[in-house]
Structure 1
Amino acid sequence: MAFFSAALAQGTGADVEGMLERLADPETRGWEQIEADIMREWSKSGSPAMDLLLQRGNEALAENDTELAIDHFTALVDHAPDFSQGWNARATAYYQAGLYGPAMSDIARALELNPRHFGALAGLAIILDELDERELALQAYRRVEEVNPHREELGRAIERLEQETGGRTL
């Protein structure tokens, strides 16, 4: 059962919308701070208990305890199914555990809830790339670029995949 509104959980207030607009502009200076501010807003569930589960899961991930992280994040998504960052966090834990199927499923849910979640989009692109789904990975990287064009490795990945696929998209 969710104890907070989906709008609050997704950080969709005018402040996040404005930050996302600035982040999408390739000419924006100070984008690192904007990106961090967006992630901080997206990490607020609206419930101290859910925030604690997210924190504990992130701490477990930092200690490479993916099993414990998955447990915390599973409790989080069970109790806060409309909180996209919970799904994205569990996807990250699944990915680190080598469980690509469950990771992809959680990414899909995170993106249903927050289509501009650049972290989930990047995770999707990375997994697709590792699975040799180059054209789909290229599409995902291009979507990340629309939302958050600033990371240098993003441009390199797009360039590499454009060369490998001839720039084709599905």
Structure 2
Amino acid sequence: MSIHHLFFNSVVATLLWCGVAAAQTAELDSLFDRLAQADPSEAEGIRGQIETQWSRSGSPAMDLLLRRGEDALADGNPALAVDHLSALIDHAPDFAQGYSLRASAFYAQEQIGLALDDLRTALELNPRHFNAMRGLAVILQQLDRPQEALEVYQRIRDIAPHIDGVDMAIDRLSVELDGTSL
């Protein structure tokens, strides 16, 4: 196979990936618009559709590593999850879902600094990743940074209303910051 043929194949693959990414972005934008207007009974289904989009890397091999990481976390083996997700991130460093899920695995191992680093990266790659935001808010509360946690929860509510526990966390943190009790 000639070098020109390899180059051509690489360019075609890149263009196809860009087309897939653009279509996925348009679909996600539409889903987020619907989510912002959804009533509670519709919101969960729309969030599920968004999460399904987030779990598609564009590569069957990378999707398999993501599933293996998810399965390891579900089986209570965060160390194995970190291994799978680290391999995923090594090969797909722009895939926000890999960082978000690996942050959960690090958090399960009480490696808060590593979890924060992955959440930061996930949110740089996908600023609307409400699951990464929620993880960040939980850690900020744990680090006794209630004002920052409150701001993150409010951002979640703006992006994805009706997520269980978010309104309650906002109310609790607001009371804590105001210095009054219920």
d(CA) in 2 for partners of 1:72 and 1:7? 27
d(CA) in 2 for partners of 1:85 and 1:66? 16
d(CA) in 2 for partners of 1:11 and 1:114? 16
CA 1:19 to 1:61, structure 2 compared with 1: closer, same or farther past 3 Å?
same
CA 1:23 to 1:156, structure 2 compared with 1: closer, same or farther past 3 Å?
same
**Partner in structure 1 of residue 149 of structure 2:** 137
Superposition RMSD in Å: 2.1
CA contact (8 A) 1:9 1:84 kept: no
Q: How many residues align?
A: 165
Given candidates 71, 74, 78, the residue that maps to 1:62 is: 74
Q: Which has the larger radius of gyration?
A: 2
Structure 2-normalised TM-score? 0.84
**Structure with the higher fraction of residues in helix conformation:** 2
Given candidates 139, 163, 167, the residue that maps to 2:175 is: 163
Question: SS of the residue aligned with 1:152?
Answer: coil
The offset of 1:105, in angstroms, is 0.3
Letter matched to residue 142 of structure 2: E
2:127 counterpart of 1:125: no
2:123 counterpart of 1:111: yes
d(CA) in 1 for partners of 2:39 and 2:55? 26
Question: SS of the residue aligned with 1:45?
Answer: coil
Given candidates 83, 86, 89, the residue that maps to 2:98 is: 86
Q: Where in structure 2 are there 5+ consecutive unaligned residues?
A: 1-12
CA contact (8 A) 2:103 2:116 kept: yes
Higher RCO (C-alpha 8 Å, min separation 6)? 1
Q: Give the fraction of aligned pairs with identical amino acids, expressed as a percent.
A: 45
